[in-house]
Amino acid sequence: MKRRQFLRKGVYAALGGAGICTALGNLRLVEAATRAYGASAFTDYKALVCVFLNGGNDAMNTVIPYDDAAYQQYRQARATLAVSHADLLPLTTQAGGGASDGVRYAIQASTDATDTVGASGLQQLFNTGRAAIVGNVGTLIRPTTKTDYLANRVEVPPQLFSHNDQQAYWQVSSTRGGDTGWAGRIADVLHAANPDAFVPMGTSLNYESILLRSQGGHQYVIGNEGARQFSYLEWDPDVRKAYLALHADDLQASLFERSFAASFRRTRMTASSVDIALTETSPLATPFPNENLATQLKMVARLIKVRAALGMKRQIFFVSLGGFDHHDGLLTQHPRLLSQLSQALKAFHDATVELGVAEQVTAFTASDFGRTLSSNGDGSDHGWGGHHFVIGGAVRGGRFYGRMPELRNGGPDDVEAGRMIPTTSVDQYAATLARWFGVSGTELDVVFPNLGNFATRDLGFMAV
């Protein structure tokens, strides 16, 4: 049997299982996978890559004022947390792309003597027009002012400043979204984009992502080194035989047992399909650092390389880097994480250039929340708004988008205890990405139920 025939038979069997598993929901993914390419399918390829910074990245020590007067205001506000001016990498903006407050900004460099690279990768991407910065993004239901917030006159996302709740809301971005993430809802409305696909539109590295949960299909979870196998089944032939018999087709008594068995079969078939595609292509030439995030992004690049073999026209990936909950040790630990982030994103972008898809792949950062402008002594506490990076060849880079907050404790953007109220919503940020990805204007309101509450639907950082 030829490789492509094997892949096709494998995915049809797998998606057949998905149909059982989603019998009480919708079957869009199965329907899409069994149709030939039609008018509704995309002829080009695009991918979104979410880089989630778990724990709440301290944005105030990521993007820092560089001009003397603005830097002194930042230094006064941050007190013990202020980064030395000598440890800043200045950013050069494109014409007309300066920050809303007219301030020149910089990125914190690494302060670790063993790291000679630091955050220079992000600086290079921004200064060459391949990265943009979106200022003061956060979870909102509707535009919110300090006065309205303090008077409790406006609805805000549930359980603000809670890690679990805000991680989830960043990825769901709706109190009406149920269990689906906004990227999963994109996959639902664009279900016909991959009619010949061998894997779901959404792929997460190492664990299931809330962002990719959808009504119409499954997300695929893959390890840093490739498709995960059930290696324990090889330990004992009798165990293997018994376990596989439990998951044989249509032998289970109940719908739920059949659904679980189908899910197991689907996982094994998808793993085989992906492994075949990955092993039959040449390695990437672009070097990646030997760090966890870089390893995840290398796998994303490898999957993008075999996109044609897997029948993909649209893909959404989820990767993550942890350790950003800096209630203490901010000045020693945070720079190392920024260095890992910077080097990984630079290597990934270089890989997309190698593959000839830099204009078709967009990576973007997300996090639980920003952190407080004020210092607790050795760190910062849970905040609200924060700055984020968007990277790719289709990004209108070298520019700032959104409104930067005033870095003054107790100022007009500080709702309490140094927490900066977001001036750009996750909905606006994500909808700008979704529109570039191919979601139409009417479908944007389906994916982002709160988008209509905001005057600006497209922030303009993508070349559409």
Tens digits of residue pLDDT in 124-158: 999 999 999 999 999 999 999 999 999 999 999 99
Q: Which residues constitute the domain of residue 211?
A: 45-237+282-453
- Considering the domain boundaries, does residue 364 fall inside one? yes
Residue 449 near residue 176 (C-beta atoms within 8 A): yes
Higher pLDDT among residues 14 and 55, named by residue: 55
- pLDDT tens-place string over residues 264-319: 677 777 788 898 999 999 999 999 999 999 999 999 999 999 999 999 999 999 99
Query: Per the domain annotation, does 256 fall within a domain?
Result: no
Higher pLDDT, 249 or 79: 79
Domains held by the chain: number: 1
The yes-or-no verdict on residue 9 having pLDDT over 50 is no
Residue 164 lies in a domain: yes
Give the pLDDT band (50/70/90) at residue 252. Answer: low
Instruction: Please give the pLDDT value at position 228.
Output: 65
Placement of tokens 């778990």 in the chain? 54
Secondary structure of residue 367 in the 3-state scheme: strand
Does 6 fall in a domain?
Answer: no
Angle at 406 between CA 401 and CA 412, to 5 degrees: 115
Residue 370: Cβ within 10 Å count: 28
Q: Are 118 and 335 in contact (CB under 8 A)?
A: yes
pLDDT one-digit tens code per residue, 55-67:
999 999 999 999 9
Q: Is residue 247 part of a domain?
A: no
- Does residue 2 contact residue 191 with C-beta atoms inside 8 Å? no
81 is a domain residue: yes
The model's confidence at residue 242, banded by pLDDT at 50, 70 and 90, is: low
On the question of pLDDT at 117 being above 90, the answer is: no
CATH number of residue 199's parent domain: 3.40.720
- pTM of model > 0.85: yes
- Beta strands (DSSP E) in 14-73 are 46-53, 63-65
* pLDDT of 396 strictly over 50: yes
Given the structure tokens 């149909």, which residue do they identify?
A: 19
Cα–Cα distance list, 196 to 227, 308, 314, 327 (Å): 20, 10, 11, 48
Q: Is residue 21 part of a domain?
A: no
Position 113 scores a pLDDT of: 65
Asked if 50 and 366 count as a contact pair (C-beta separation under 8 A), the reply is yes
In a domain, 27, yes or no: no
